[in-house]
Amino acid sequence: MDHSPLLCHRCGTELHPGSGDFYVVRIEAFADPSPPVIEEADPDPDPRRELDRLAEQLSTLSPQEAMDQVYRRLTIYLCVACYRPWIENPAGA
């Protein structure tokens, strides 16, 4: 059995499953999913060079890192005291 305590992601207080003293927050983040904007101003586009450049950029990343750049999903746990102010201002602005 897993006896490691569940801790609030923000303040580290111990959470007690079944007692309703915390919230589970699921975050899904996508990179801009719209198609790339084509620059019409370029009089002499060189798609091959552009592809080479992109391939070179991607080859420096591991597959996991490349994936992390476009999609992240994480789950955090927040105690009620942390959750209430956080949900009103999740971006922290």
78 CB-near residues (< 8 Å, 6+ apart)? 8, 9, 10, 22, 23, 25, 86
Least distance CB 8 / Zn ion (angstroms): 3
Cβ burial, residue 6 (10 Å; 0-12/13-18/19+): middle
Asked if residue 79 lies in contact with residue 14, where contact means CB atoms within 8 angstroms, the answer is no
Shortest reach from residue 22's CB to Zn ion, in Å: 8
Nearer to Zn ion, 13 or 76 (CB): 13
Per the listing, tokens 């091959």 go with: 48
User: Nearer to Zn ion by C-beta: 11 or 74?
Assistant: 11
Q: Shortest gap between Cβ of 81 and Zn ion (angstroms)?
A: 6
C-beta of 6 vs 13, nearer to Zn ion? 13
Sites of contact with Zn ion (CB under 5 A): 8, 10-11, 13, 79, 82
